[in-house]
Amino acid sequence: MQAESPDALARAKRVRLMLFDVDGVLTDGKLWYGPSGEALKGFSVLDGHGIKLLLQSGVAVALLSGRSSPAVTLRAAELGIAHVLQGIDHKLGAFESLAAKLGVAAAETGFMGDEVIDLPVLRRCGFACAPGEAHDLVRRHAHYVARAPAGGGAAREVCDFLMRAQGTLEAALARYLA
């Protein structure tokens, strides 16, 4: 399932800061618990490489999550994501603070979320995205709904869409075709 609003490309073209929720966006939304608490999260290499390419294209990337996890900290460091906001109950305030800190207007931001807790940011950012499995209300507020599943390429799809809109995708992929 892929859906995009008529102005999705124009909105994506303006994005200078792209934020991603973690659980249900960069992961499949399952939480794995062992005897000592949360132990594992699974991340897609497709999503990770898409984020790396997006960063290399000049778009800043941040993670904005309601949960806190050492696995997220490690994955963000591995990908070179400098802005990792975890344990955030009220995501809109953290989103606005980060955008102000980076000097980015709301219209120049994108956010990919899956649950109703993400709606305040999705309604405020310039380019709202969701995976297909997102809550129905979230999908209705998204400018772009990915076909690929959460934790299995949805974020990569959004990264490619952003780079295509900004005219940087072809150059980002050219080195792999040489």
Report the pLDDT value the prediction gives residue 11, as an integer from 0 to 100.
98
Residue 6 maps to a domain = no
Average pLDDT over residues 68-88: 96
Q: How does residue 39 score in pLDDT terms, banded at 50, 70 and 90?
A: low
The residue assigned the tokens 């993400």 is 118
The pTM score is 0.95
Residue 79 maps to a domain = yes
The residue assigned the tokens 């990770």 is 48
Q: How does residue 62 score in pLDDT terms, banded at 50, 70 and 90?
A: very high
Average pLDDT over residues 165-173: 96
Total tally of structural domains belonging to the chain: 1
The yes-or-no verdict on residue 84 having pLDDT over 70 is: yes
Residue 82 maps to a domain = yes
- Contact predicate 142/125, CB 8 Å: no
Tell me the H-state helices in the chain. Answer: 8-13, 45-56, 70-79, 91-102, 119-124, 136-141, 154-165, 169-177
Helices 70-79, 45-56: axis angle to 10 degrees equals: 50
Average pLDDT over residues 66-70: 93
Which stretch of DSSP H or E encloses residue 4?
strand 3-4
**What's the token pair of residue 162?**
């952003």
Residue 3 maps to a domain = no
Task: Report the percent of the chain where pLDDT is more than 70.
Answer: 98
CATH (domain of 121): 3.40.50.1000
Residue 1 maps to a domain = no
Residues 134-160 pLDDT 10s:
999 999 999 999 999 999 999 999 999
Q: d(Cα 155, Cα 161) in Å, to the nearest integer?
A: 10
Report the pLDDT value the prediction gives residue 137, as an integer from 0 to 100.
97
The residue assigned the tokens 């941040």 is 62
Q: d(Cα 83, Cα 168) in Å, to the nearest integer?
A: 22
Residue 57 maps to a domain = yes
Torsional sign, CA 160, 119, 78, 83: positive
Choice between 37 and 14, residue whose per-residue pLDDT is larger: 14
Domain ranges, residue 52: 12-177
